[in-house]
Amino acid sequence: MGLLDNTSSQANTSLAGKTILIYGAPKVGKSTTSNTLPGNLFADLEGGLQFLSCNRVSISSWDDLLKLRDELVTVKHNFKNLTIDTVDLFHKYCERYIVKKAGAKDINDGELAYGKGGNRVKDEIINFLISLKQKGISVTLISHGKEREMSTKTAKWSYMGTTLGPSVETAMTALCDYIFYCYINEDGKRVMRTKPSKYVLAGDRSAKLPEIMEMDLNLIEKHLNKKDN
């Protein structure tokens, strides 16, 4: 069979294998809404899930994450989504792992200099996510929100992004299918912004979600499967 014999592809309207980033103020309900996804498992890096009934594995290093990843892709289980709480520590643990593996002092030392360290971290994280994606396991990344000042020669404005920092944020968000900013609106309802703007980091690769939606990740598939889409 040639490569051109079967080129037909249908739109994927499920969350299987997707990567989602949700962020916002502490206590807004990010972990709670992620926990409503069927078959959710927390990789608990922050230790802030004591008051949430959930399936979780305590994580304190990148080696722990690799062990968890390997079990998820090789052992029979019912988990469909891995929530990484938080992605800030996820990235930090990966960076420490790369530095230790290279025998370096930091991510810019020795063979990791001139951006090579950052590229190795990115490649390691990509491999982590791809291995889960290939098994149909979705990944939800949780971060906190942080305003920072943006400016041009003629204007300044506040921009809401994550606590990852600009360069790491850019690298991580490039790997995500969905990026949601979670907040409480003027009516006191917990909602998510799905579309980017000059003032807020957000994203919807499907282009099918409403700009503002209820803070419920289970609604994603409902919107993707609407007949008028």
User: What integer is the mean pLDDT of 178-201?
Assistant: 96
**Mean pLDDT over the full length of the chain:** 93
Q: Are 96 and 80 within 8 A, CB to CB?
A: no
* Residue extents of the structural domains in the chain: 19-224
Per-residue pLDDT tens digits for 100-157? 999 999 999 889 999 999 999 999 999 999 999 999 999 999 999 999 999 999 999 9
pTM, rounded to two decimals: 0.92
User: What integer is the mean pLDDT of 197-223?
Assistant: 95
229 pLDDT more than 50: no
The band of 165, judged by pLDDT with boundaries at 50, 70 and 90, is confident
Alpha-carbon distances, residue 210 vs 15, 192, 223 (angstroms):
17, 10, 8
- Written out in words, the top-level CATH class of the domain with range 19-224 is alpha beta
More confident residue, 11 or 50: 50
